[in-house]
Structure 1
């Protein structure tokens, strides 16, 4: 027995061996958080760029056929331009940026239900602001235009435009709110397509109703305003159908909606503060326009042509800046602050360079722009002088716009707004000094150029010095209150 080998049995385990737990699947890839910054920024920007280039064509075409109505019509458009731009920038860039930022931050943190609720509150905000603009301009618009220096037939044509456009002020507010909801989800293509469609219709309808065609009579400035509203209404209807049909990443719902102050606050803490930026910008333009009105209709019309170029070029920065909002918002929501700052500086550099190159070309060859609008020698001379002084400095306007949108994405917009305040004070004090010392129109053009540099530099400094880290809310153990 001792010679028989006994096979060793494996030890008996007390309990079965446990299999390692399966790792949870990785979260789905989010291109706005995971892809390269420059490539993603350019991919999101190009639809906006195409659409806003079409908007530039509108500015060119509109100014061109208004020029056919006469120098007085050009001057009237220069008077109403600040108020129209205020409506579009406040609804699209300021409050729209606040909407896109809030929705992007909610999606970045993985809370799609909150994003949908925010979208519904955003539409309520858009309706209220549109109604306020309608009442304000219909009641006080004529007096405001008169204070700007409008007189005689110039004032009458400007009032005619205001009465038509601002009677439908809720249309652009709703259009830009729908666009902001889509942009907050990272969808840049549909809003851009609708802006492109509206631009084409605006050129056709505004030209036909303004100048007349066949049996359609010329309605002048009122016809131009009506064409704009019709074009915007179509774009608004298409985006509303797309969002409420459930095709978007967020779907606002009327059923069971409860008004929540927190939702309004999340949008307004960015959007309401941001609204002071275009408000101050328009106030700056308004003060500047009032000062130039003393030099005569030709100088005012010439400045209006130059201001149109500024609007065109800064739309490039708008396209880049609005693309950065969902990228930065989602990065902040996911607590990737370093990436958010890299996005901001990349967007700022691209905006500064792209706007600056075109501005410098026009400064050296102003006839490329001025020839599109007028042959009047006095108007041409004023416009050329303004462009030679101001156009190279448009790069700093582009930088400021990019910093403004980047700050919206981070929900830290106060700095760029204060930078706009600095520019307003600079223009006010500088303009007063030039007025009392009998400055020339050229001196005022130089003042405008210097204010652009100030705005760009201070906006960039505000982003550099502002902390973007989201506040960490401490979690309190409920048992601690029982001890």
Structure 2
């Protein structure tokens, strides 16, 4: 059990750790561009993370789980056909996000408090990034197909190299070099698209090279509703969970925006820390999706439950430790990205309220990925809704009725995080997964 989880989780975890450092570096780059750039990125960040979480952990999780169950049950022809179905689905979703970025997103950023220069910076970054979203979806879906087939090393290797290259490329494209001033806010977006495209091409070459023991077929196949449903029955609910998580971030951003640009920039730095932990949970969780999916395909539910608890407790311990360390030195973390005292104060307030509960966030996230493999998404669905209601309605109540101000918003976020982890772990603890009658 431990060796299998390590084999499936270690490569992706390495990539996600690299992505965490990429996130830190890019926040530093935005800080070099100024407070308006930090605030602008905070406006785009929830929508960007919604797409990333859907591509990697929502619909991507559905793709990996479908492939794992097909391989575990020995349905080789279905596994070959799933490649076509996944790529068709990914193309449609990429085009949808591109359309939303050019039509709905500008209004959304204004509703979240964007105005003036910060709104201009947000739109620059958003238009570039989402116009090339097809590269991002292809990168994550090809990775999901390989991981679901039991090969986490290949996508892990290519995505690690692309992550390492992304930081210096973002720096140069954003801030320039020599006499060239760079592209500003557009630079990191261009860097993200370029590295995603290269990673996707390398993964496609490996997949069509027979890495999973077969060569995918795109021609001569008809699209089948049952194979789309095999992806969507997990992917839709997992994506809804990603949607509620990011809707929570958007609505909370709107609440924070009522306290000014400095509060918004500070919240952007603080919440960036939370979303940097999502990739760490994804690293272990992606391994659980495959491991639990294969066990579920073979109808070995005891092994599936044991794998889910092993991975989630490891993730909770690691992520919780990181949160506690940052909570002890919150001002030092804030000063990595800004010297504005008001921005630092807002960042410190967020971290001290929320970071101590990252352990429950880690447990909840990894068990959500394990639930994808099991095809049991009820608990993550309701946990996401509970977190949304507590963080947003609770935050509004603490501002309007209790007059707790910005600290009230951050308290509500913390309580929502506690509820999220508890409502996913509790049902599995008292009613472990079993074969359906």
The answer to whether the 8 A contact 1:244-1:252 is kept is yes
User: 1:135-175: CA deviations, max 9, x gaps?
Assistant: 11111111111111100000011011111011111111111
Asked if 1:460 is matched to 2:425, the reply is yes
Aligned partner of 1:54 in structure 2 is: 18
Question: Does structure 1 conserve the Cα–Cα contact (< 8 Å) formed by 2:305 and 2:432?
Answer: no
Of the three residues 72, 78, 95, the one matched with 2:59 is 95
- Greater alpha carbon shift after TM alignment, 150-159 vs 453-462: 453-462
Q: How does 1:146-185 map to 2 (within 5 A)?
A: 146-185=110-149
Moved more, 124-133 or 202-211: 202-211
Render the CA deviation track for 1:92-139: whole Å, top value 9, x for unaligned. Answer: 001111111111111111122211111221111111111111111111
Question: SS of the residue aligned with 1:60?
Answer: helix
CA contact (8 A) 1:363 1:391 kept: yes
- 1:91, distance to aligned residue in structure 2 (A): 0.5
Shift in Å at residue 459 of structure 1? 1.1
Aligned residue among 218, 232, 238 for 2:202:
238
In the aligned structure 1, how far is the partner of 2:429 from the partner of 2:376? 12
Question: Given the alignment of the two structures, is residue 445 of structure 1 paired with residue 410 of structure 2, yes or no?
Answer: yes
Q: 1:303-382 residue pairs with structure 2 within 5 A?
A: 303-382=267-346
Higher mean Cα deviation, 433-442 or 280-289? Answer: 433-442
TM-score, reference length from structure 1: 0.88
Deviations 1:11-49 (A, max 9, x none): xxxxxxxxxxxxxxxxxxxxxxxxxx2232123222112
Establish whether residue 396 from structure 1 lines up as the match of residue 396 from structure 2: no
Measure the CA separation in 2 of the matches of 1:423 and 1:153: 32
8 Å CA contact 2:237–2:377 kept in 1: the answer is yes
Shift, 1:333, TM fit: 0.8
Shift of 1:466: 5.8
Structure 2 residue corresponding to 1:65, chosen from 21, 29, 46: 29
* Matched residue, 1:27: none
Change beyond 3 A, Cα 1:359–1:243: same
Structure 2 unaligned residues grouped into runs of 5+: none
Task: Sort the Cα spacing of 1:120 and 1:464 in 2 relative to 1 into closer, same or farther, 3 A.
Answer: farther
CA-to-aligned-CA distance 1:432-452 (integer Å, 9 cap, x gap): 212323322112111111111
d(CA) in 1 for partners of 2:185, 2:417: 31
TM-score normalised to structure 2 length: 0.97
Are residue 140 (structure 1) and residue 140 (structure 2) matched? no
* Alignment pair present for 1:407 and 2:340: no
Query: Which secondary structure does the structure 1 equivalent of 2:404 belong to?
Result: coil
1:275 paired with 2:239, answer yes
Aligned equivalents of 2:158, 2:379: Cα separation in 1: 32
Q: CA RMSD in A?
A: 1.4
**1:288-325 CA deviation, whole Å, 9 max, x = no partner?**
01000011111111111111111222322211111111
- Give the conservation status (yes or no) of the 8 Å contact 2:8–2:147: no
> How many residues are treated as equivalent by the alignment?
436
Distance 2:334 2:88 in 1: 42
Matched residue, 1:424: 388
Distance (whole Å) between structure 2 residues aligned to residue 132 and residue 466 of structure 1: 38
Q: Which of the numbers 42, 48, 67 marks the counterpart of 1:84?
A: 48
Larger RCO of the pair (alpha carbons < 8 Å, separation 6+): 2
How many angstroms apart in 1 are the aligned matches of 2:253 and 2:430?
A: 33
Following TM superposition, by how much is the alpha carbon of 1:469 offset from its aligned partner in structure 2, in angstroms? 3.5
